[in-house]
């Protein structure tokens, strides 16, 4: 039989076909339809933009199995169905374990979706040339490790072997969340292990033996306890090898905190103050679309005596400049003036007066250094004296 000649163009096409992408995410904690039309839609859009063939979800797709209803599941499925070439693998985690009444068992999942079962098992794909391995949490905790070493790879075609798992590494002793060690990963035989559980991961890939592993982190922060950059991991596989793994921004909300020091002049009116704050915000986050930013702004320094601080008004000025819904914590203090403090009946003012009187006395006695120390001390303790506290931290979702 005559052998078919391979033309350079066909060879190039064959090479590019060997090149494929996967998106790795985890810890979406979807709790309602709003998340499906928001966060989920952005993850799907990212898969579309990079023509990813696989979407790996390493657990905690849902915040709580009881919050999930059929409308939510159908919408999630419909949005994914818009990308028929995308294959989705889910390894349920501690928030969405594979229980009898979980959405994974209560509702029908189309063939596009593969929900991994309680026992470590693998799926051989025709296209791309890959095997997907993984297992599900079946309860809110998983004390026995789920990862098992893979059977020796079949001869012939170079398969890219992926594991998808909700797991805890580095695990604290006695971790109830599927504790894993680097040694176990190294012995797994996997090429890539897609992990979920730690929401604030930097997304950096690590190596154990010849296995690359990474936590994707949550695709977008869920609150100020998940501040900073988040995203999905985009992996590129060429000829059965992982050639790049990049954290890619999905474009959702981003939580950040910023301390803005203010002088009396900065605070002389709301317009000036809001402009001053925005300048600092732009400097701190030069490339970020302000509409995406959920910012906790802590104001420090001195506020003018004749301007009452009004966070609600300031928030509206900031919104008019594009910074929506900032959380404002005003820790500015009035300029310290003994005359004004003497009028104030509070205990804080009484102590401040004592410190200032002491500072004035030291100044008179030619002990300028010591006098300054008293003033600095007052600056430090004034917010505490005044009784200000930071808002309580929200619960960690992990």
**Closer residue to Mn ion in complex, CB, 96/191:** 96
**Closer residue to Mn ion in complex, CB, 60/191:** 60
Site for Mn ion in 86-145 (CB under 5 A): none
Q: How far is CA 202 from the centre of its chain?
A: 9
Rounded to the nearest whole angstrom, what is the least distance from the CB of residue 95 to Mn ion in the complex?
5
User: Strand (E) positions, 126-178?
Assistant: 130-134, 160-166
d(CA 205, CA 105): 33
Rounded to the nearest whole angstrom, what is the least distance from the CB of residue 321 to Mn ion in the complex?
35
Rounded to the nearest whole angstrom, what is the least distance from the CB of residue 221 to Mn ion in the complex?
13
Is residue 168 at the binding interface for Mn ion, with CB under 5 A as the rule? no
**Closer residue to Mn ion in complex, CB, 60/220:** 60
Rounded to the nearest whole angstrom, what is the least distance from the CB of residue 166 to Mn ion in the complex?
8
Is residue 60 at the binding interface for Mn ion, with CB under 5 A as the rule? yes
Peptide bond into 139 cis (omega under 30): no
Give the number of C-alpha atoms closer than 13 A to the C-alpha of residue 283, restricted to the C-beta side.
9
**Closer residue to Mn ion in complex, CB, 197/334:** 197
Dihedral sign of CA atoms 221, 226, 228, 230 in order: negative
**Closer residue to Mn ion in complex, CB, 123/225:** 225
**Closer residue to Mn ion in complex, CB, 63/256:** 63
Query: CA nearest 192: which of 164, 167, 219, 157?
Result: 164
Contact of 314 with 297, CB cutoff 8 Å: no
Residue 387 CB coordination number (10 Å) = 9
Site for Mn ion in 270-309 (CB under 5 A): none
Rounded to the nearest whole angstrom, what is the least distance from the CB of residue 25 to Mn ion in the complex?
11
What letter would DSSP give residue 305? T
d(CA 240, CA 1): 30
Taking CB atoms, the residue at the shortest distance from Mn ion is 60
**Closer residue to Mn ion in complex, CB, 140/301:** 140
Site for Mn ion in 22-51 (CB under 5 A): 27
Rounded to the nearest whole angstrom, what is the least distance from the CB of residue 43 to Mn ion in the complex?
15
Q: Which stretch binds Mn ion (CB under 5 A): 38-46, 53-61, 227-235, 269-277?
A: 53-61
d(CA 267, CA 317): 13
* Burial class for 395, CB neighbours closer than 10 Å (0-12, 13-18, 19+): exposed
Q: Which stretch binds Mn ion (CB under 5 A): 21-29, 224-232, 298-306, 345-353?
A: 21-29
Q: How far is CA 224 from the centre of its chain?
A: 10
Q: Which stretch binds Mn ion (CB under 5 A): 20-28, 73-81, 272-280, 293-301?
A: 20-28
Q: Which stretch binds Mn ion (CB under 5 A): 52-60, 79-87, 326-334, 356-364?
A: 52-60
Contact of 193 with 213, CB cutoff 8 Å: yes
Residues that bind Mn ion (CB under 5 A): 27, 60
């Amino acid at each position: 039989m005559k052998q078919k000649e391979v033309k350079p163009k066909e060879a190039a096409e064959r090479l590019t076909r060997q090149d494929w992408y996967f998106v790795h995410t985890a810890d979406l904690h979807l709790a309602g339809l709003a998340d499906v039309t928001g966060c989920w839609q952005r993850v799907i859009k990212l898969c579309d933009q990079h023509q990813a063939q696989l979407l790996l979800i390493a657990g905690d797709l849902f915040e709580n199995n009881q919050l999930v209803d059929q409308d939510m599941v159908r919408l999630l499925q419909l949005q994914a169905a818009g990308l028929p070439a995308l294959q989705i693998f889910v390894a349920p985690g501690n928030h969405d374990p594979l229980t009898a009444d979980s959405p994974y068992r209560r509702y029908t999942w189309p063939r596009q979706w593969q929900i991994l079962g309680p026992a470590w098992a693998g799926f051989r794909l025709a296209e791309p040339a890959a095997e997907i391995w993984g297992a599900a949490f079946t309860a809110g905790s998983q004390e026995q490790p789920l990862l098992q070493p893979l059977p020796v790879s079949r001869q012939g075609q170079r398969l890219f072997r992926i594991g998808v798992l909700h797991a805890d590494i580095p695990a604290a002793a006695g971790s109830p969340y599927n504790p894993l060690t680097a040694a176990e990963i190294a012995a797994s035989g996997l090429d890539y292990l897609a992990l979920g559980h730690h929401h604030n991961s930097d997304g950096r890939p690590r190596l154990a033996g010849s296995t690359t592993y990474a936590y994707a982190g949550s695709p977008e922060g869920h609150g100020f306890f998940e501040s900073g950059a988040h995203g999905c991991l985009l992996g590129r596989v060429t000829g059965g090898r992982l050639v790049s793994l990049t954290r890619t921004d999905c474009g959702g909300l981003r939580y950040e905190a910023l301390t803005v020091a203010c002088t009396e002049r900065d605070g002389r009116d709301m317009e000036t103050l809001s402009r001053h704050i925005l300048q600092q915000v732009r400097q701190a986050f030069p490339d970020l679309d302000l509409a995406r930013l959920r910012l906790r702004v802590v104001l420090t320094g001195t506020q003018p005596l004749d301007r009452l601080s009004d966070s609600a008004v300031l928030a509206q000025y900031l919104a008019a400049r594009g910074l929506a819904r900032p959380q404002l914590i005003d820790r500015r203090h009035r300029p310290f003036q003994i005359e004004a403090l003497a009028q104030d009946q509070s205990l804080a003012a009484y102590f401040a007066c004592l410190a200032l009187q002491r500072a004035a006395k030291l100044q008179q006695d030619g002990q300028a250094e010591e006098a300054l120390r008293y003033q600095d001390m007052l600056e430090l303790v004034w917010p505490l004296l005044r009784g200000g506290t930071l808002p309580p931290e929200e619960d960690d979702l992990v």
